[in-house]
Amino acid sequence: MSMVYKVVYIEDQDAESVIHDLSQCDLEVVHCHPGTFKETITKVDSHKPDLILMDFRLMQGGGEVNAPAIAQYYRSLSIDNPSLCLPVVLLSNDTKIHGFYDDFTSHDLFDFFIIKENLSENKEKYSLLMKEHIESYKFISTLQAREEDLTELLKVPKKLELDIDPRIKETLRNKKYKSNIYMASKFIFNNVVKSIGVLIGEDVLSARLGIDKSSESWDELCSQLKECEYTGIYSGSYRRWWADGIEVWWNETIEESNHLRRFNSEEKLTVICSKLPGLKLKKVEGDLNTKTDNFWTICQCSLLPVDPSEAFEIQADLTLMPWLDTQYYSYESVRDYDLNDQLTDIEKSRYKDIARGI
């Protein structure tokens, strides 16, 4: 990704700090001060951007239109002409933007959003994510034009092709994904790459292998898993592994016939070290109140490993894709983040019993 991409940044206030941060990461950023709706669109189009970045509130400095209206225009435009589809990213000072953002994503407006403070602290991360969205849009456009299978975007290893949930392929064959670049990108970004399901991140990998990420040989262990590392779109910003690939590795490389899930962390550590004796590894630990170490996933708040039988499950979100894993929370997270009301009735009862005993 050595090419310099053009970003039009729509902002009614001072734009210098954002322009400075992104320009350091090989992005050409042009500031567009909003006016009327028509004026703003004309300015943006004159620069022929690869990506549009915009502040959420654009009317405080004299603008006459807010971000959702502009985003809606570009999303609507691309319905008739897919070649006009480009990534639209939301930027805000407001840490309460989550609520607005959730609403707008449900109406298919923004690819992702950034808190301004986080952008300055992680400019390389967010710049890469912008570049990857630009590149992915082009890749998707090419496949759609050729009427090729969008599953190609995932670069599924041949060894795992039959193990991947077939509903993912079926979904990507749906007309709205075959004809709309943004919808295809958003589906893969949110429901495959960022979520725990067919892919897992480093924290979940650590929990499933029973190995602490701070182990001296953690990187060497990860290099052993090269064959099941995800290399599809957005893999530059999100390091992921195929969940089924980890289990294949456990069976074939570690040569263990019993399922990975049947072992606790101490046992997994012993098995892995006996097969890979040169690695310096230590077992992963949960939080202070963890009673079992049959870890398989992580607490959504603390990101520490949890045993699903010990953690708490909130009421199911019926809109979630069926291949996504259940989200779990530790006792401490339920208590500290006041999640009790979101628990299922059975989980509420179990939580109360534990609370009385502590």
pLDDT digits (tens, 9 = 90+) for 161-206: 998 999 999 999 999 999 999 999 999 999 999 999 999 999 999 9
Residues 127 and 14 occupy one common structural domain? yes
* Last residue within a domain, chosen from 137, 166, 184: 137
Note whether residue 326 is domain-resident. Answer: yes
Residues 21 and 122 occupy one common structural domain? yes
- Digit-coded pLDDT (tens) for 288-312: 888 999 999 999 999 999 999 999 9
Q: Three-class SS of residue 8?
A: strand
Q: For the chain, give me the number of helices (H) and strands (E)?
A: 15, 11
Contact 250, 205 (CB under 8 A): no
Q: What is the pTM of this model?
A: 0.92
The pLDDT of residue 232:
98
Note whether residue 177 is domain-resident. Answer: yes
Range(s) of the domain holding residue 350: 289-358
The pLDDT of residue 81:
85
Residues 6+ apart with CB under 8 A from 282: 211, 212, 214, 215, 269
CATH number of residue 17's parent domain: 3.40.50.2300
The pLDDT of residue 104:
52
Long-range pairs for 223-227: beta carbons < 8 A, 24 or more residues apart: 224/249, 224/253, 224/276, 225/249, 227/157, 227/159
- Look at the chain and report how many structural domains it folds into: 3
Note whether residue 204 is domain-resident. Answer: no
Residues 81 and 158 occupy one common structural domain? no
Residues 113 and 160 occupy one common structural domain? no
Note whether residue 263 is domain-resident. Answer: no
How is 132-194 classified by DSSP, letter by letter?
A: HHHHHHHHHHHHHHTT--GGGGG---GGGTTTS-HHHHHHHTSHHHHH-HHHHHHHHIIIIIS
Residues 13 and 61 occupy one common structural domain? yes
Q: What is the separation of C-alpha 165 from the centre of its chain, rounded to a whole number of angstroms?
A: 19
Rounded to whole angstroms, the Cα distance separating 10 from 19 reads 11
Residues 36 and 122 occupy one common structural domain? yes
In a 13 Å sphere around the CA of 112, the CA atoms on its Cβ side amount to 22
- Among 311, 350, 354, residue whose Cα is nearest residue 333: 311
* Torsion sign, CA atoms 90, 95, 100, 101: positive
Residues 6+ apart with CB under 8 A from 224: 249, 253, 276
How is 59-101 classified by DSSP, letter by letter?
A: TTTT-S--HHHHHHHHHHHHHH-GGG---EEEEES-TTHHHHH
- Pairing, β 27-32 against β 5-10: parallel
- Among 177, 225, 179, 174, residue whose Cα is nearest residue 202: 225
* Last residue within a domain, chosen from 117, 137, 157: 137
Residue 278 in tokens: 């040169």
Rounded to whole angstroms, the Cα distance separating 270 from 263 reads 10
Note whether residue 231 is domain-resident. Answer: no
Note whether residue 203 is domain-resident. Answer: no
Residues 104 and 28 occupy one common structural domain? yes
- Among 153, 157, 151, 166, residue whose Cα is nearest residue 252: 157
The pLDDT of residue 1:
45
Residues 116 and 72 occupy one common structural domain? yes
Note whether residue 32 is domain-resident. Answer: yes
Residues 126 and 161 occupy one common structural domain? no
Ranges of the chain with pLDDT below 50: 1, 101, 106
Residues 60 and 133 occupy one common structural domain? yes
Look-up of token digits 């049947």: 262
Note whether residue 70 is domain-resident. Answer: yes
Residues 115 and 169 occupy one common structural domain? no
Q: Three-class SS of residue 306?
A: strand
Query: What burial class does residue 124 get, using C-beta atoms within 10 Å of its C-beta: 0-12 exposed, 13-18 middle, 19+ buried?
Result: exposed
**Measured CA distances, 101 to 7, 26, 117, 180, 315 (Å):** 21, 27, 17, 21, 22
Residues 337 and 303 occupy one common structural domain? yes
